[in-house]
Structure 1
Amino acid sequence: MRAPNGLRFDANLKWLFTELPFEERFEAAAAAGFTAVEYADPYPYPAGRLRRRLTDAGLRQVLINAPMGKPGSPERAGVACLPGRADRFRTDLERGLDYATELECDFLHVLGGIRPTDVSHDRAFATYVTNLVWAVEQTRGTGVCLVIEAQNSRDVPGFLLDTQARAASAVEAVGEPNRLGLLLDLYHVQVQEGDLVSTLRKHLPRVRHLQIADPPDRTEPGSGEVSWPRVFDTLLDASYPGWIGCEYRPANGTVNGLSWLTEQAGTARTPAEGTR
């Protein structure tokens, strides 16, 4: 879905259209005007089956996550930072790449993982970077770019990458900017760090994908505390070319809540207006 000013938004099917069973959300997203989708966990479904859903609905797959452990387990955010789990990490990453390739997906998100309390941050971070270096090599020739994300410690206690600076330092340590970049979630930035526009400006050169939701309740833009026209103006000023994932919890139904696209994104100036 493209806003009047040119910004592109995709539907996160884990969060949007939850009024419907998962496989019916593809057609619903297309009917609402979206041309692309993302979701964290494709693995309960055969990749070919999801590919058909995308094709039938005329949709593009933007993002999936690499496999993670069960909710509530130590592996619930993946094993990438866990010492001694390289074999499991590699198996999961290869499975994620197989799905991403089959779905013709732009980005595969490699989560930082939950740091065990008996493992130092330095050791967990070094483990993560080592795994990322290996993972980047596996993407060569696939057309898939890896992305990593900082998550706030209120919602995800113990997450390795709890600030944008830490996520950016991992990208810099790997040193493969064409194959590894930031997934910057503006909800997590605002909850953890605040100073949203300045943080966005600082890290945009490393950003490959964005996600949005409005704190404090993680609902649609315009329902919370963020000045979204200012945020979208910042993206326009920087000529941000990528997708923006709608990863929010609709307050009053998915389709009814999409009015924010005109009320928030639609009030941001166009690039031409910014040069007048």
Structure 2
Amino acid sequence: MPKFAANLSMLYTELPFMERFAACARDGFKGVEILFPYDMPATDIAQALQANGLEAVLFNTPPGDLANGDRGLAGQPGREAEFRAAIDSALQVALATGCKRIHVMSGLGESLAPRLDLLCANLAYAAAQFQPHGITALIEPINTRDIPGYLLNTQAQAHAIVDRVGAANLRVQMDLYHCQIVEGDVAMKICKYLPLGSVGHFQIAGVPERHEPDIGELDYTYLFGVIDEVSAQCGWDGWVGCEYRPLRGAQSGGTSAGLGWLQPWR
């Protein structure tokens, strides 16, 4: 059975941030994701996790100047020092919270090819910094509708980069929402890549509007079964992050109201 983590940057936004930990624990979540946990003391996050029996399973590296369009630094020429500082910041938060997966954001660019060497070098650096602490670096293909110009868009690109870098703790964050929008054939991609050992994390949302996973064109009941079946064959035991914007919850006053889809999987 998949293990589900609540993305506290997108779920339970009807509550102050520090109250979201208790709310998701009451709803049966055992893990949490946070997009950018850098504007609050990491010790406060660690205390909230411990108090509610939760595990921090994923967060992103600092994206750069988010307000002015940055979406990551790993593929940005001339910003290597800033990238390394971001890796250090992420590592300090991970050590304080016990988080074992960090999404290293690639950033924007006109095309991947002229940035590939830089991206791979920066990812190798990040993986090397994380490795002594048992932390996995992740890269994520993102659709060009949500983030136009993002350097990574397809599963093939991301897995090829993992192969090229060759770090044992560099893997792909396979977001099924982005995958469906860009290329489809989601079940077959799960079957192809999960047994290879290069998938470190899944994320889900309904397609096309990024609401609850049972709203839209993807049959997540079927896909969860695929993940279960393939995981049993290859020994994968990772997490499925719930990174969506609640629709039913927004209509009825809270994220919890839209979690009917989760009931069979608790």
User: TM-score, length-normalised on structure 1?
Assistant: 0.89
Gaps of 5+ in 2: 250-254
Matched, 1:58 2:48: no
Find the aligned partners of 2:112 and 2:206 in 1 and give their Cα distance: 29
Q: Which residue of 1 aligns with 2:252?
A: none
Shift of 1:8: 0.8
Which residue of 17, 23, 27 corresponds with 2:18? Answer: 23
Asked whether the 8 Å contact 2:175–2:202 carries over to 1, the reply is yes
Q: Which residue of 2 aligns with 1:262?
A: 263
Q: Which residue of 2 aligns with 1:39?
A: 34
Shift of 1:89: 0.5
Asked whether the 8 Å contact 1:125–1:160 carries over to 2, the reply is no
Matched, 1:197 2:191: no
Q: Which residue of 1 aligns with 2:220?
A: 228
**SS across alignment from 2:66:** coil
- 1:153-189: CA deviation from partner (whole Å, max 9, x where unpaired): 1111110101111111111111123x11111000000
Find the aligned partners of 2:10 and 2:26 in 1 and give their Cα distance: 17
Asked whether the 8 Å contact 1:152–1:162 carries over to 2, the reply is yes
Asked whether the 8 Å contact 1:168–1:182 carries over to 2, the reply is yes
Task: In structure 1, give the amino acid aligned to 2:178.
Answer: H
Task: In structure 2, give the amino acid aligned to 1:131.
Answer: N
Q: Which residue of 2 aligns with 1:252?
A: 248
Find the aligned partners of 1:130 and 1:262 in 2 and give their Cα distance: 43
Which residue of 106, 113, 122 corresponds with 2:113? Answer: 122
Which residue of 63, 68, 74 corresponds with 1:80? Answer: 74
The range that moved more, 144-153 or 133-142, is 133-142
Find the aligned partners of 1:50 and 1:228 in 2 and give their Cα distance: 30
Q: Which residue of 2 aligns with 1:97?
A: 91
Task: In structure 1, give the amino acid aligned to 2:211.
Answer: T
- 1:50-85: CA deviation from partner (whole Å, max 9, x where unpaired): 1111111111100011111233424x2111101111
Q: Which residue of 2 aligns with 1:156?
A: 147
Find the aligned partners of 1:15 and 1:195 in 2 and give their Cα distance: 26
User: TM-score, length-normalised on structure 2?
Assistant: 0.92
Q: Which residue of 2 aligns with 1:3?
A: none
Task: In structure 2, give the amino acid aligned to 1:238.
Answer: V
Q: Which residue of 2 aligns with 1:274?
A: none
Larger proportion of helix: 2
- 1:136-162: CA deviation from partner (whole Å, max 9, x where unpaired): 111132121111100001111110101
Shift of 1:214: 0.8
Which residue of 163, 171, 174 corresponds with 2:165? Answer: 174
Asked whether the 8 Å contact 1:101–1:144 carries over to 2, the reply is no
- 1:194-232: CA deviation from partner (whole Å, max 9, x where unpaired): 111112222213111100001111011211100112211
Which residue of 142, 157, 160 corresponds with 2:133? Answer: 142
Tell me how many residue pairs correspond in the alignment.
Answer: 255
Shift of 1:97: 0.7
Find the aligned partners of 1:96 and 1:262 in 2 and give their Cα distance: 33
**SS across alignment from 1:238:** helix
Gaps of 5+ in 1: 1-5, 267-276
Find the aligned partners of 1:88 and 1:190 in 2 and give their Cα distance: 33
For the structure 1 residues 84 and 71, does the alpha-carbon distance in structure 2 shift closer, same or farther, using more than 3 Å as the test?
A: closer
Task: In structure 1, give the amino acid aligned to 2:105.
Answer: L
Q: Give me the identity figure in percent.
A: 41
Query: Hey, which bits of structure 1, 4+ residues long, moved more than 2 A?
Result: 69-74
Find the aligned partners of 2:83 and 2:68 in 1 and give their Cα distance: 15
Shift of 1:123: 2.0
